[in-house]
Amino acid sequence: MVTRLYTHPIYLEHITPPGHPERPDRLRAIERALDDEAFAALDRVQAPEGDEATILYAHPAAFVDRVRAAIPDTGIARIDADTTASPKSWQAALTAIGAANAAVDDVFEGRATNVFVAARPPGHHAEKTTAMGFCFFNYAAIAARHAQKKHGAERVAIVDWDVHHGNGTQDIFWDDPSVLYCSTHQMPLYPGTGAKNETGAGNIVNAPLAPQTGSETFREAFETRVLPALDKFAPDLIIVSAGFDAHHRDPLAEINLDEDDFDWATGQLMDRAGRHSGNRLVSLLEGGYDLQGLAFSVAAHVARMMKG
């Protein structure tokens, strides 16, 4: 059992405006948490820069060109009300793609059993042709397609427990039954998608959670909607869109989870990976904006991955 960690200093150089919740300190908090001796066995690897051609697995070329053109030479450029770019944002995003695809290679080629990618900016709000919600490109979608194209995966499952619905991932795979997308998220909340009746080609499973609910409701949603869908689908790979903003300390939402819930959910997905996917599980950091809640939750998540 080898758990690998990908990160890179370039992720700290994606600069957002003062007071923006998606800030470099998020990764610094994770780094401090994973510096504990409990994580001495974690296989730490610097993330590689991605192949730009793989962006086209999830996004059309014209959109990629628009994002590239929006990157400023100096200062901060606004892409939408929430999403900004700085001079190193393109390289940060490309290296996040590189890490996600390398993680897929690792679990299919036996270099790691599972992988956690600590990258930013996040990705799950990026639709086929729209950058939004702090996100430029959808790394989970690109990684799923990479698994199919390079490693022959017939079925890939993406499980998203970020407190905000992954509208981008749903948009990209809406009519594609080879990819299962399961999401737990607060509703109503940004971006406004993720109702139970949004089912795509039968491959979209949304489990919305009411504001102010907590562990019991979250675990019930997992046990009654997410896990049965995974068992029926029997994926060759599980990708986790691992946002930790459903933590009770988080300022952007009203779901009251704690790190024990993320430990439990990780264990449930690892069990399904063991049953169906040759233990192959790749986890990609999404949200999580309270630094203490984020650090504790990531530590619990990665510790569970290391236990096997």
Of 125, 164, 165, 247, catalytic: 125
Residue closest to 254 by CA, chosen among 210, 201, 305: 210
Euclidean distance between CA atoms 143 and 43, whole angstroms: 20
125 part of the active site: yes
Euclidean distance between CA atoms 39 and 36, whole angstroms: 6
- H or E stretch at 84: strand 84-85
Burial class of residue 10, CB neighbours in 10 A (0-12, 13-18, 19+): buried
Tell me the torsion sign for CA atoms 97, 100, 103, 107: negative
Q: Please list, in sequence order, all residues whose beta carbon lies within 8 angstroms of the beta carbon of residue 113, skipping any fewer than 6 positions away.
A: 1, 2, 3, 107, 279, 280, 281, 308
Could you tell me where the DSSP H helices lie in 9-112?
A: 25-34, 61-70, 89-109
Q: Which residues are catalytic?
A: 125
